[in-house]
Amino acid sequence: MNCWKIGVIGFGNIAQALIGGLLKVQAIKPEQVHVCAAHYDKVCVSAKKYGVYACQSAEEVINKSDVVILAVKPYQMEKVCAPIQNLLKDKIVITVASKWNFDKFDAALAPGTHHLSMIPNTPVAVAQGIVIMEEKNSLTEEEFSMWKELLGKIALVEVVDSDHMSIADTISGCTPAFTAMYLEALGDAGVKHGLTRPMAYRLVAQMLKGTGALYLEQEKHPGAMKDAVCSPGGTTIRGVEALEQNGFRAAAMSAINAAMSKK
Ligand SMILES: NC(=O)c1ccc[n+]([C@@H]2O[C@H](COP(=O)([O-])OP(=O)(O)OC[C@H]3O[C@@H](n4cnc5c(N)ncnc54)[C@H](OP(=O)(O)O)[C@@H]3O)[C@@H](O)[C@H]2O)c1
């Protein structure tokens, strides 16, 4: 078990997913974690859910931690960092804020601060996540490898150069929404043909999980995975044709292009 004391400033969706995932696999204990948010009454409720300590201020969180995760919205980051810059100087500082790469974060922190930018996706909550870590960082080699090892317990961790953080973030961070839509659509089709909704969703969710696991274990080309399910003149190839007629792959690529165009 990792013995770092972990502080979180901004205990919203992604911070709770990260801490929840690490607690779930017992990589850390609740008593190692101190959190704060904008509203103390609200953070008390979420802290209680995970058994971690709720603090009144960012200063209190930092004083009780070795590693501090900054998990506020990107537009709040500058305002949050400014008054605590000096306190963060002797800590390991991690940000999960979208578009806050090394250079931008370096300018907002005191010179010499050890920091790393990373982007987790929400399935870290169930130890099935992805964490994209920026290659350019100012952690020591030991800090970086310890942090990477810890997050490896709840995620596939990929180290990415600064220029490709945005696309890696889009491919792993936006797609849970697109995939949930696919899950919902296939579930609707199951219901149309008589399955109960809970069973339809369970079947599709397990299929998505299994298909991903199969790829990660065998690394066969996705086209070969498709071919392996399509018998000549069979039912699956008819479905493949219907997807092609409706621009399925083009729609998936357009969704990524649309998300990237905002970055
Ligand atoms: N959600 C995702 O899937 C995801 C994935 C990767 C990265 N991220 C990044 O993670 C960051 C947080 O996103 P989120 O979705 O978790 O947002 P969120 O659920 O809205 O959480 C934001 C948190 O920041 C707190 N906060 C706001 N102002 C603060 C301040 N001045 N001091 C301390 N805490 C403050 C909020 O407190 P109150 O609740 O009390 O207002 C809340 O706990 C963003 O930068 C985002 O880009 C999100």
Tokens of 112: 């010499």
Say which residue the tokens 């931008």 belong to.
Answer: 104
**Fold match between domain 6-160 and domain 169-261:** no
**CA separation for the pair 198, 205 (Å, rounded):** 10
Alpha carbon of 9 to ligand 1 centroid (Å)? 9
**CA separation for the pair 257, 170 (Å, rounded):** 9
Give the tens place of pLDDT for each residue, 132-169: 999 999 999 999 999 999 999 999 999 999 999 999 99
pLDDT score recorded for residue 263 = 65
- What superfamily in CATH does domain 169-261 come from? ProC C-terminal domain-like (1.10.3730.10)
Say which residue the tokens 């940000």 belong to.
Answer: 95
Check if the beta carbon of residue 217 is closer than 8 Å to that of residue 210.
no
Give the tens place of pLDDT for each residue, 29-74: 999 999 999 999 999 999 999 999 999 999 999 999 999 999 999 9
**CA separation for the pair 94, 81 (Å, rounded):** 12
Alpha carbon of 256 to ligand 1 centroid (Å)? 23
For the chain, which residues make up each domain, given as ranges? 6-160, 169-261
CATH class as words, domain 6-160? alpha beta
Answer whether 7 contacts ligand 1 (Cβ < 6 A): no
Check if the beta carbon of residue 178 is closer than 8 Å to that of residue 186.
no
Answer whether 12 contacts ligand 1 (Cβ < 6 A): yes
Please give the order of strands across the beta sheet that includes 129-134. 53-54, 33-36, 6-9, 67-70, 92-95, 114-120, 129-134, 155-160
Confidence of residue 262 (pLDDT cuts 50, 70, 90): confident
Listed range (1-5, 222-226, 235-239) with the worst mean pLDDT: 1-5
Look up the pTM and report it. Answer: 0.91
Answer whether 76 contacts ligand 1 (Cβ < 6 A): yes
Q: How many CA atoms lie within 13 A of 135 on its CB side?
A: 8
